[in-house]
């Protein structure tokens, strides 16, 4: 009996892909078609003897996809894809390894705004952290309050 299944893949910047297990090779230099980053995480879903159990990524959703709609025909198209935080669980988390398997600190960008003075800026947040965790120790550079979100 042969193996059947698919891979759930997140690039290092959190873009999601789902690929048949025989179409994707881990060591073939895979790159994200959205941003060009390498693999950050993957999970093998075994469907040999049933439907398999995919990894639930919904709790890791950081930025939902944005759709744009044509004003003429109302056709909808994805402007930007979903972006996920890299889970700690799964088959292998490679978000902190470079090509030589050396530890490196990866970050992702998020725009944070002050609820008090409406200051807005882009911050680099360590991979594996949520925005909520990151802002708990951050003060607004404009007014000095701690209401960044």
Measured CA to CA, the distance from residue 33 to residue 43 in angstroms comes to: 19
Radius of gyration over every alpha carbon of the chain, rounded to an integer in angstroms: 19
Per-residue pLDDT of the chain (149 residues; tens, 9 = 90+): 588 889 899 988 999 999 888 876 654 677 888 888 888 888 889 898 888 889 899 999 999 888 888 888 988 888 888 999 988 765 444 444 445 444 455 666 677 777 777 777 766 666 655 666 666 667 777 777 777 66
How many Cα atoms within 13 Å fall on the side-chain side of residue 91? 17
**Residue 102: left (phi > 0), alpha (psi -120 to 50), or beta?**
beta
3-state class (DSSP) for residue 64 = coil
Beta strands in the chain (DSSP E): 5-11, 16-20, 39-46, 61-63, 66-69, 76-80, 83-84, 92-93, 107-113, 120-126
């Amino acid at each position: 009996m042969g193996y059947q299944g698919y891979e759930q893949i997140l690039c290092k910047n959190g873009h999601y892909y789902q690929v048949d297990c025989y179409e994707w090779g881990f060591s073939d230099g895979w790159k994200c078609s959205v941003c060009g980053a390498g693999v950050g995480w993957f999970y093998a879903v075994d469907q040999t003897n049933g439907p398999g159990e995919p990894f639930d990524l919904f709790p890791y959703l950081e930025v939902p996809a944005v759709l744009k709609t044509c004003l003429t025909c109302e056709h909808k198209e994805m402007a930007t894809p979903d972006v996920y935080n890299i889970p700690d669980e799964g088959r292998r988390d490679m978000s902190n390894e470079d090509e030589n398997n050396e530890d490196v600190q990866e970050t992702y960008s998020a725009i944070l705004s002050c609820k008090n003075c409406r200051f807005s800026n882009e911050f680099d947040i360590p991979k594996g952290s949520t925005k909520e965790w990151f802002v708990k120790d951050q003060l607004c550079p404009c007014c000095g309050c701690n209401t960044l979100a």
